[in-house]
Chains A and B, each alone.
Chain A
């Protein structure tokens, strides 16, 4: 087998945020994607594949950053990937409607000798603005293929493929002479350039290295110094230290070079400079936040429209499938255990998963829409100060608000957060937001136990939720969001544009399918464990493993203020929050098995309130309310979390943390309440 012919071609996508990189990535690879993490880093790694003319292409979607400096892990990973020889060709994306600024990535790339193509994306938006961009003029100046493009228009990728073929056969690199000329006018640049390794370093040419040393780039400076002969190091250090504000000077060179590139290449109107009427409202100090909250809540409601059919179908599954399956399996003589396994665990897991994807579908569509039209950046802007206190981007407000409805959607909504560490932290905090299911149980228990004082319990829950979020941001924040990433906002607010529905729907469908399969696995696994623990051949709870464990550790659960019954209900509420009442009913009034009560398949005792008051002390009830509210939201939220973080380690870590905090809260509430109640 010839290794040359079977070697797949690797394309790396490089571009600033809002350059349409992800759209191109999705357009090229469709559903053939793999998302993971860069080894040992909290940075997401996205790879996809496509085949064309019998050749397999791997597409690496590099993290979206504004430059190739060493300001973050994302930037270092990006540049080392490109210069490390892993990519056969780098596709650099620029926003054709804002070339003046967005060509900075190209300028920062200049001096890396990897085969490259420049893609002038969003040409349609540029045209709408009345700009005319001449790709030919740019190509002549740059020496690499330059393609006018619109990533949303999947049917017309031909120009891109042609340019790709040309780049791969001609292997041209970016012309840098005009930029080099500008750099060399800077004081000290030529001396520094002369000290760089003559062969460069990987694909980094001496020009690029010298510019980075001028900019005070610590990793590059250290590497260069290592490679120098001992006697040259002192001189190098002296030269490097003599540079003041190097990044400003090289930056000026870069933008000056960009201006010279655009001369005669871009004509037509300049963009209007003021705030549009809508933007004046969207960014206003008084109305910005209420508008954002209203739009998100409207979005939440709107997301139920596409979600409802899935949820209805899902909820019909148990009643549709279970009787038939049970009869069929009994007829072929399957043991009771197997029937229970398939009907209870299998059918219910499917029900959960289908209901979940309906919601994930709706949220992804609505949030994708808000992002696509450009409004998301405004939300980030108005909530920047508030969310920065938790170490998060302003966008994090969206998942939090959605979590009041359902944590599953909240977790799925964190997809809009482009930083992986911040995304996990957002999910970890979103779990503490009381979801709708909380309100199906808390008011009932509070009112039977505390009567007119019940609203106080609810106020208490809100206060504790805020405290919990703040505490959780401290516990996980340090590890997930590095100190150097907690700098103030410096962000572009992209111009609004019309949504491309086809493109959006393709993305949403692709993601939903992916979610279904992965979620089903998680839900099946947890349901199976829970079912096995609660299984008893005759339906009597005292024969189940979970009872034996619960009864055996009751002296321990008592410390947390919970009896074995309330403790079992607490454990079940991690599978489904609504289960808390059903399981208590099952244990105190014998209505159905624990598992059936948990998945909502069993009824509740009519006089449950009286039964609870007779069996549970007020202090225990209050402890139970807090324990259940701040427990793991539900098994499906766990699955959704795993989907977004694609990290079993972090999903388990957050889950264990929540159980521990819930029990701790139960302990404190019980012992404090016992003094007064």
Chain B
């Protein structure tokens, strides 16, 4: 398990935990990120939102917010 913000470019895994207030949970859920959902990290550069691919879509996520998302395991 590691923070999504620490994942490397091209790394693949599943989301294992999402923490945060109600508002944050509802925002990430509505864009398709839930626990157990497969993700691929497309681009993770310092001082930039992180680009991921999940549920058939490319999504940009704020870095700070990604600290609250944990990624783990390999896509099964």
Alpha-carbon separation in the docked complex, A250 to B54 (Å): 18
Whether the Cβ atoms of B31 and A490 lie closer than 8 Å is: yes
B residues in contact with A66, CB < 8 Å: 27, 30-31
Whether the Cβ atoms of A251 and B34 lie closer than 8 Å is: yes
A98 contacts the other chain (CB 8 A): yes
A534 to chain B, nearest CB (A): 52
Alpha-carbon separation in the docked complex, A285 to B48 (Å): 8
Alpha-carbon separation in the docked complex, A67 to B25 (Å): 12
10 A-B pairs in the complex with CB atoms less than 8 angstroms apart: A67-B26, A71-B23, A71-B26, A98-B55, A99-B56, A104-B30, A251-B26, A283-B43, A489-B61, A495-B58
**Chain B stretch 36-50: residues in CB contact (< 8 A) with chain A:** 36-37, 40, 42-43, 45-49
Of all A-B residue pairs in the complex, the 8 with the closest CB atoms, nearest first, are A488-B62, A251-B29, A67-B30, A216-B22, A247-B25, A66-B30, A101-B32, A101-B55
Whether the Cβ atoms of A248 and B60 lie closer than 8 Å is: no
A273 contacts the other chain (CB 8 A): yes
A606 contacts the other chain (CB 8 A): no
Alpha-carbon separation in the docked complex, A201 to B15 (Å): 35
Alpha-carbon separation in the docked complex, A97 to B65 (Å): 27
Whether the Cβ atoms of A488 and B49 lie closer than 8 Å is: yes
B63 contacts the other chain (CB 8 A): yes
Chain A's interface size range is 35 or more
A271 contacts the other chain (CB 8 A): yes
B residues in contact with A275, CB < 8 Å: 42-43, 51, 58
A407 to chain B, nearest CB (A): 30
Whether the Cβ atoms of A484 and B27 lie closer than 8 Å is: no
B64 contacts the other chain (CB 8 A): yes
From B27, B30, B35, B63, give the contact of A252 (CB < 8 A).
B35
A residues in contact with B76, CB < 8 Å: none
A residues in contact with B45, CB < 8 Å: 285
B residues in contact with A305, CB < 8 Å: none
Whether the Cβ atoms of A283 and B61 lie closer than 8 Å is: no
Alpha-carbon separation in the docked complex, A377 to B51 (Å): 12
Given contacts A251-B34, A273-B40, A385-B48, contact A491 B60 (CB under 8 A): yes
A157 contacts the other chain (CB 8 A): no
B residues in contact with A273, CB < 8 Å: 40, 42, 53
B residues in contact with A382, CB < 8 Å: 48
Alpha-carbon separation in the docked complex, A222 to B56 (Å): 36
Chain B binding surface, main DSSP class: mixed
Whether the Cβ atoms of A492 and B26 lie closer than 8 Å is: no
**Chain A stretch 27-42: residues in CB contact (< 8 A) with chain B:** none
Alpha-carbon separation in the docked complex, A71 to B22 (Å): 9
- Nearest CB in chain A to that of B23: its residue: A71
A646 to chain B, nearest CB (A): 28
Whether the Cβ atoms of B65 and A490 lie closer than 8 Å is: yes
- Nearest CB in chain B to that of A280: its residue: B43
Alpha-carbon separation in the docked complex, A177 to B55 (Å): 24
What would 7 more interface pairs be, CB under 8 Å, given A254-B29, A271-B56, A381-B60?
Answer: A67-B26, A69-B23, A98-B55, A99-B56, A270-B56, A285-B45, A488-B61
User: Which of A216, A248, A484 neighbours the largest number of chain B CB atoms within 10 Å of its CB?
Assistant: A248
Given contacts A488-B65, A489-B49, A490-B61, contact A245 B25 (CB under 8 A): yes
A-to-B contact residues, CB < 8 Å: 66-67, 69, 71, 97-102, 104, 108, 215-217, 245-248, 250-252, 254-255, 270-271, 273-275, 283, 285, 377, 380-382, 384-385, 484, 487-495
Alpha-carbon separation in the docked complex, A100 to B34 (Å): 13
Report the number of A-B residue pairs with Cβ-Cβ less than 8 Å: 139
Whether the Cβ atoms of B48 and A493 lie closer than 8 Å is: no
A residues in contact with B25, CB < 8 Å: 215-216, 245-248, 251
Whether the Cβ atoms of A100 and B26 lie closer than 8 Å is: no
Alpha-carbon separation in the docked complex, A384 to B65 (Å): 14
Given contacts A66-B31, A273-B40, contact A247 B26 (CB under 8 A): yes
Given contacts A252-B34, A255-B32, A255-B37, contact A490 B18 (CB under 8 A): no
Given contacts A104-B32, A255-B34, contact A248 B59 (CB under 8 A): no
Alpha-carbon separation in the docked complex, A275 to B10 (Å): 10
A residues in contact with B56, CB < 8 Å: 97-101, 270-271
Alpha-carbon separation in the docked complex, A488 to B62 (Å): 5
Whether the Cβ atoms of B57 and A492 lie closer than 8 Å is: yes
B residues in contact with A384, CB < 8 Å: 48-49, 60, 62
B residues in contact with A493, CB < 8 Å: 51, 57-60
Whether the Cβ atoms of A248 and B51 lie closer than 8 Å is: no
Whether the Cβ atoms of A101 and B49 lie closer than 8 Å is: no
- Nearest CB in chain B to that of A271: its residue: B56
Alpha-carbon separation in the docked complex, A381 to B43 (Å): 12
B28 contacts the other chain (CB 8 A): yes
Whether the Cβ atoms of A248 and B34 lie closer than 8 Å is: yes
Alpha-carbon separation in the docked complex, A668 to B49 (Å): 41
B71 to chain A, nearest CB (A): 15
A residues in contact with B46, CB < 8 Å: 285
User: Which of A216, A488, A490 neighbours the largest number of chain B CB atoms within 10 Å of its CB?
Assistant: A490
Whether the Cβ atoms of A488 and B63 lie closer than 8 Å is: yes
Whether the Cβ atoms of A274 and B42 lie closer than 8 Å is: yes
Alpha-carbon separation in the docked complex, A484 to B25 (Å): 14
A399 to chain B, nearest CB (A): 21
Alpha-carbon separation in the docked complex, A217 to B27 (Å): 12
B residues in contact with A215, CB < 8 Å: 22, 25-26
- Nearest CB in chain A to that of B58: its residue: A493
Alpha-carbon separation in the docked complex, A221 to B36 (Å): 28
User: Which of B40, B43, B49, B59 neighbours the largest number of chain A CB atoms within 10 Å of its CB?
Assistant: B49
Given contacts A98-B56, A491-B60, contact A247 B49 (CB under 8 A): no
Alpha-carbon separation in the docked complex, A140 to B54 (Å): 27
B16 to chain A, nearest CB (A): 12
B60 to chain A, nearest CB (A): 5
Given contacts A283-B43, A283-B51, A492-B31, contact A487 B62 (CB under 8 A): yes
Alpha-carbon separation in the docked complex, A215 to B53 (Å): 25
A residues in contact with B26, CB < 8 Å: 67, 69, 71, 215-216, 247, 251
- Nearest CB in chain A to that of B24: its residue: A487
A residues in contact with B58, CB < 8 Å: 275, 492-495
A255 to chain B, nearest CB (A): 5
B residues in contact with A492, CB < 8 Å: 31, 57-60
Alpha-carbon separation in the docked complex, A508 to B33 (Å): 36
From B22, B28, B31, B47, give the contact of A385 (CB < 8 A).
B47
Alpha-carbon separation in the docked complex, A492 to B19 (Å): 21
B residues in contact with A381, CB < 8 Å: 49, 51, 60
A residues in contact with B23, CB < 8 Å: 69, 71, 484, 487
